[in-house]
Amino acid sequence: MINDAAVLTEKLDRIYKIRGPRRKDDPRELVALDGVNLEIKRGELFGLLGPNGAGKTTLIKILSTLLLPTRGRVVVDGFDVVKDFGEIRRRISMVSGGETSGYGLLTVEENLWMFARFYGLDSAVALRRINDLLHLLGIGDRKRTKISDLSTGLRQKMNFVRGFICDPGVIFLDEPTLGLDVTAARDVRAFVKNWMLEHPERTILLTTHYMAEADELCDRLAIIDNGKVLACDTPHNLKRRLQREAVFKLKVGPIGPKPCKEEMLESVPGVRQVSIVEHSSGTELSLILEREEVLSGVLTHLGRRGSKLISLEKREPTLEDVFIDLVGRGLNVDTSRRGKETP
């Protein structure tokens, strides 16, 4: 054991070499993680928040011993991921969103039993835990169903049972509610919260791009983009960063064609960040302003561009606002094709 933190990364880089045919000017490498420093304490439910391609999954794959770091030091439950991966594997588990693992001809119970045995559980203990966990997640009646007959939501609940069956010290949840309906996602979040309450010494690292999920579940959050950690704090403290600013949500009529740089909303003095979402009924603007008085300038600007105000709401800052403030764009932007030319 070399550190008491559940997870520790120091100056972690991960660079993928791009294989296969490429043109002369195509990048040769992809920087997935760039100098990531994180310390996650035991007993924390820690969130990694970032858009697709930010590096969240790469980080989880390194922590779960599936990938080696290119540079830097990574410690999980006191063990180094490069040298002591065998010890780490005894202590961790992982559940990913949209997971299709298992064998379709086996029943839910048989699949879970198989994975439990890979962790060395006694058969009777495994069956008892399978039964208990399936009931906790509300799918106790599906024990004898072949997994090929399960819906996406039920299958993901089964994956959760698989992840928790071995009672891991550290569990990685990679976008665990991806593709789930509202009810299934709520059940899964409730399960995670209860598990942490009942096992205060355990640690969960959750990646998500659902702001509300991160806000609801996580003790602390790191916001990650382009492979870099931009901020790391409690959701409350992250939102407090914007407390002095004024956050508004405006719904306006069509703004018209994209103006030149000087005529964009960002050029209005006092406007810190703007996020625009186009709807068929109009345009939704999330604005972070340095102070409330800046709003009149914004409305004048919109009026000059022929857009009418439909609704205006001043609200408390959300994690999304924090993200926009830090990154300069919303979460629904895919950055997975970043490449870096190297000599």
Partner 1 sequence: MNDTGIYKAKGFQLFWRTAWARAYPRIVGTFRERSWLFFETLLPVLGTAAYVFVYRAINAPPDYTGFVVVGGAMIAFWLNILWNMASQLYWDKDMGNLELYIISPGPVMAILMGMAIGGLVMSGTRALIILTVSTFLFGVTYQTGSLPLLGAVFLVTMAALYGMGMMFASLFLVSGREAWHISNLLQEPVYLVSGFYFPVKAIGFWGAAAASLIPLTLGLDAIRQLLFTGDPTLGFLPVGMELGILAVLAVIFINGARLALARLEEIGRREGRLIERRR
Contact positions vs partner 1 (CB under 8 A): 16-17, 20, 61, 64-68, 86, 89-90, 92-94, 96, 99-103, 105-106, 110, 113-115, 117-122, 125, 129, 162, 166-167, 169, 199, 201
Q: Give the phi and the psi of residue 321 in degrees, each rounded to 5.
A: -65, -40
If the CB atoms of residues 168 and 282 are measured against partner 1, the closer one turns out to be: 168
For partner 1, which is the closer residue by CB, 162 or 239? 162
Comparing CB distances to partner 1, the nearer of 142 and 202 is 202
Query: Which residue's CB is nearer to partner 1, number 39 or number 110?
Result: 110
Residue number, 18 or 310, with CB nearest to partner 1? 18
d(CA 260, CA 320): 26
Task: Give the nearer residue to partner 1 in terms of CB position, either 81 or 238.
Answer: 81
Integer Cα distance of 280 and 15 in angstroms: 41
Q: How far is the CB of 238 from partner 1 (least distance, A)?
A: 30
Q: Is 98 exposed, middle or buried (0-12, 13-18, 19+ CB in 10 A)?
A: middle
Least Å distance, CB 87 to partner 1, is 9
What minimum distance in Å lies between the beta carbon of 43 and partner 1? 13
Taking the complex as a whole, how short is the minimal distance between the CB of residue 89 and partner 1, in angstroms? 5
- Burial zone of 224 (CB within 10 Å; 0-12 exposed, 13-18 middle, 19+ buried): buried
Per-position b or e across 210-220, b if 16+ CB within 10 A of its CB: bbebbbebbeb
Decide whether 159 or 307 has the Cβ nearer to partner 1. 159
Distances (CA, A) of 44 to 98, 206, 321: 25, 10, 24
Q: Give the shortest CB-180-to-partner 1 separation in angstroms.
A: 17
Residue 217 tokens read as 């579940």
Distances from the Cα of 190 to the Cα of 82, 174, 183, 212, angstroms:
34, 16, 11, 14
What does DSSP say about strands 29-40 and 7-17: parallel, antiparallel, or unpaired? antiparallel
Q: What would you report as the CA-atom Rg of the chain, rounded to the nearest whole angstrom?
A: 23
- Dist CA 206 CA 94 (whole Å): 10
CB of 16 to partner 1, least distance (A): 6
Q: Which of 324, 328, 319, 329 is nearest to 240 (CA)?
A: 319
Structure tokens at 135: 């009931």
Minimal distance, residue 67 CB to partner 1, in Å: 6
Smaller CB separation from partner 1, 20 or 343: 20
Q: Kindly state the smallest distance separating residue 141's Cβ from partner 1, in Å.
A: 21
